[in-house]
Amino acid sequence: MGGTDLPLVLEFGGGAELLFDNVKKRQVTLDGSKTWKIKELLGWIRDNLLRERPELFLQNDSVRPGILVLVNDADWELLGELEYELQPNDNVLFISTLHGG
Protein backbone atom coordinates (compact mmCIF):
# COMPACT_ATOMS: atom_id res chain seq x y z
CA MET A 1 0.00 0.00 0.00
CA GLY A 2 0.93 3.68 -0.11
CA GLY A 3 4.35 3.35 -1.63
CA THR A 4 3.14 1.52 -4.70
CA ASP A 5 0.14 3.72 -5.45
CA LEU A 6 0.09 6.47 -8.06
CA PRO A 7 -2.73 8.83 -7.07
CA LEU A 8 -3.87 11.29 -9.75
CA VAL A 9 -6.58 13.89 -10.15
CA LEU A 10 -8.28 13.78 -13.54
CA GLU A 11 -10.44 16.69 -14.67
CA PHE A 12 -12.62 17.14 -17.74
CA GLY A 13 -14.07 20.41 -19.00
CA GLY A 14 -15.43 22.37 -21.94
CA GLY A 15 -17.90 19.57 -22.67
CA ALA A 16 -15.35 16.71 -22.52
CA GLU A 17 -16.98 15.69 -19.22
CA LEU A 18 -20.06 14.59 -21.19
CA LEU A 19 -18.11 11.50 -22.29
CA PHE A 20 -17.39 10.64 -18.66
CA ASP A 21 -20.82 10.45 -17.05
CA ASN A 22 -20.79 14.24 -16.75
CA VAL A 23 -18.24 14.03 -13.90
CA LYS A 24 -15.83 16.95 -14.08
CA LYS A 25 -13.31 15.86 -11.49
CA ARG A 26 -12.25 12.48 -10.23
CA GLN A 27 -9.56 11.01 -8.03
CA VAL A 28 -7.97 7.84 -9.42
CA THR A 29 -5.23 5.55 -8.19
CA LEU A 30 -3.02 3.68 -10.63
CA ASP A 31 -0.60 0.83 -9.94
CA GLY A 32 2.53 2.70 -8.85
CA SER A 33 4.82 -0.31 -9.14
CA LYS A 34 5.39 0.66 -12.76
CA THR A 35 5.88 3.99 -14.46
CA TRP A 36 2.98 5.64 -16.29
CA LYS A 37 3.35 7.90 -19.28
CA ILE A 38 0.41 9.98 -20.44
CA LYS A 39 -0.02 7.72 -23.48
CA GLU A 40 -0.58 4.83 -21.07
CA LEU A 41 -2.95 6.93 -19.01
CA LEU A 42 -5.00 7.55 -22.19
CA GLY A 43 -5.28 3.79 -22.69
CA TRP A 44 -6.31 3.37 -19.06
CA ILE A 45 -8.96 6.07 -19.44
CA ARG A 46 -10.29 4.38 -22.58
CA ASP A 47 -10.53 1.03 -20.82
CA ASN A 48 -11.81 2.20 -17.46
CA LEU A 49 -13.67 5.49 -17.77
CA LEU A 50 -14.82 6.03 -21.34
CA ARG A 51 -18.26 4.52 -21.80
CA GLU A 52 -19.06 5.10 -25.46
CA ARG A 53 -17.86 6.67 -28.68
CA PRO A 54 -14.14 6.74 -27.82
CA GLU A 55 -13.48 8.56 -31.13
CA LEU A 56 -14.95 11.70 -29.56
CA PHE A 57 -12.06 11.67 -27.07
CA LEU A 58 -9.22 9.69 -28.64
CA GLN A 59 -7.84 9.58 -32.18
CA ASN A 60 -4.65 7.91 -33.44
CA ASP A 61 -3.36 7.06 -29.93
CA SER A 62 -3.68 10.65 -28.73
CA VAL A 63 -6.51 12.95 -27.74
CA ARG A 64 -8.66 14.12 -30.66
CA PRO A 65 -8.06 17.56 -32.23
CA GLY A 66 -9.68 20.31 -30.18
CA ILE A 67 -8.89 18.82 -26.76
CA LEU A 68 -6.10 20.47 -24.81
CA VAL A 69 -4.27 18.49 -22.14
CA LEU A 70 -2.89 20.37 -19.12
CA VAL A 71 -0.70 18.80 -16.47
CA ASN A 72 -0.66 20.83 -13.26
CA ASP A 73 -2.04 23.76 -15.25
CA ALA A 74 0.66 23.64 -17.94
CA ASP A 75 0.18 22.68 -21.59
CA TRP A 76 1.36 19.07 -21.94
CA GLU A 77 3.42 20.11 -24.96
CA LEU A 78 5.79 21.80 -22.51
CA LEU A 79 6.29 18.45 -20.75
CA GLY A 80 6.73 16.04 -23.63
CA GLU A 81 3.09 15.36 -24.51
CA LEU A 82 2.42 11.60 -24.68
CA GLU A 83 5.86 10.78 -23.25
CA TYR A 84 5.45 12.72 -19.99
CA GLU A 85 5.92 10.43 -16.99
CA LEU A 86 3.17 10.97 -14.45
CA GLN A 87 4.12 11.82 -10.86
CA PRO A 88 2.08 11.15 -7.69
CA ASN A 89 -0.74 13.70 -7.21
CA ASP A 90 -0.42 15.16 -10.69
CA ASN A 91 -3.49 17.01 -11.87
CA VAL A 92 -4.38 16.22 -15.48
CA LEU A 93 -7.04 18.41 -17.10
CA PHE A 94 -8.63 17.54 -20.45
CA ILE A 95 -10.40 20.59 -21.81
CA SER A 96 -12.40 20.75 -24.98
CA THR A 97 -12.20 24.11 -26.73
CA LEU A 98 -15.31 26.21 -27.01
CA HIS A 99 -16.28 28.03 -30.19
CA GLY A 100 -19.57 29.71 -29.34
CA GLY A 101 -20.33 33.27 -28.39
Residues of the shown chain interacting with another protein in the complex, contacts defined by CB under 8 A? 13-15, 24, 55-56, 59, 64-68, 70, 73-75, 77-78, 93, 95-101
Our CB check for another protein shows the closer of 15 and 32 to be 15
What is the gyration radius of the CA atoms in the chain, in angstroms?
13
Least gap, CB of 101 to another protein (angstroms): 4
Distance CA 45, CA 64 (A): 14
Least gap, CB of 9 to another protein (angstroms): 13
- Decide: 36 and 6 in contact? Cβ < 8 Å: yes
